Structures are given as structure tokens and as C-alpha cells.
């Protein structure tokens, strides 16, 4: 089974996005079921969203980053109140890393290592 981590960087400041809340969900037949919640640390990371005793099976997952609240707490307004990233886990023996590059008016993501 697979593990999952994320890393959020604020590209407008060149710094980690500390204190950003996020949620991990798994797709079931016609909905998503919450699996975990996390908050980025001082380095902008959540190292193991799946938890030490929980591994992720193959399937479609969604990470939702609460970007609006994070920006508002810093006295900024943004265009995206949240960012949702859907991705698919296929290999059960790999670690999955989903970084988010964020600014008030844009974002980018990719499969990291």
C-alpha cells in the first residue's frame, strides 16, 4: 500500500506555506469520503497524510487545500478560496508526493518524489 505527503510553497514570498489546513479524501462509488486532515508545518509540509498505520490502496483521491482561510489569516485576498487536486494511486509499493505552488492569484501542482 502507498503513503502520501504534500508540500506547499507560497511563490509570492518564496517561503513555505506554514499553517495551511488540508483534507484528504478517497473517492467511493459516487462521492468522496474523508480520510485525514492535516496542517502544514513550518517547512510547509505534511509528511504522511495517510498516517503511520494507514496505507492508501489503489484508487482516486482528492486533496483540498483551504487557501482562502490561509490567505485571509495573512491579510491577503486571493482568487481561489480552495484548491482541489484529484489524483490516482496505481502502484501500491510507491510513495506519492503532491506539492502545491501557491500565490494569491494562481497555483500549480505536480507529482513529486
pLDDT digits (tens), the chain, 113 positions: 578 899 999 999 999 999 999 999 999 989 999 999 999 999 999 987 766 556 788 999 999 999 999 999 999 999 999 999 999 999 888 889 999 999 999 999 999 98
Q: What is d(CA 44, CA 40) in angstroms, rounded to the nearest whole number?
A: 5
- In the prediction, which pLDDT does 3 show? 84
Structural domains in the chain plus CATH codes: 3-109 (2.60.40.180)
Per-residue pLDDT, 52:
56
The pLDDT, as a whole number, for residue 35 is: 92
Flag whether 96 is marked binding. no
pTM tops 0.85: yes
How many angstroms separate the Cα of 41 from the Cα of each of 8, 27, 51, 88, 93? 10, 26, 15, 25, 26
- pLDDT at residue 1, rounded to an integer: 58
Residue 48's pLDDT is what?
72
The answer on whether 7 is annotated among ligand-binding residues is: yes
97 carries a ligand binding annotation: no
Amino acid at each position: 500500500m502507498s503513503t502520501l505527503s504534500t508540500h506547499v510553497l507560497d511563490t509570492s514570498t518564496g517561503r513555505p506555506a506554514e499553517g495551511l489546513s488540508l483534507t484528504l479524501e478517497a473517492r467511493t462509488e459516487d462521492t468522496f469520503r474523508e480520510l485525514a486532515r492535516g496542517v502544514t508545518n513550518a517547512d510547509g509540509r505534511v509528511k504522511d497524510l495517510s498516517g503511520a498505520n494507514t496505507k492508501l490502496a489503489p484508487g482516486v483521491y482528492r486533496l483540498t487545500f483551504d487557501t482562502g482561510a490561509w490567505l485571509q489569516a495573512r491579510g491577503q485576498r486571493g482568487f481561489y478560496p480552495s484548491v482541489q487536486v484529484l489524483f490516482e494511486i496505481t502502484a501500491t509499493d510507491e510513495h506519492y508526493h503532491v506539492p502545491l505552488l501557491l500565490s494569491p492569484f494562481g497555483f500549480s501542482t505536480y507529482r513529486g518524489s
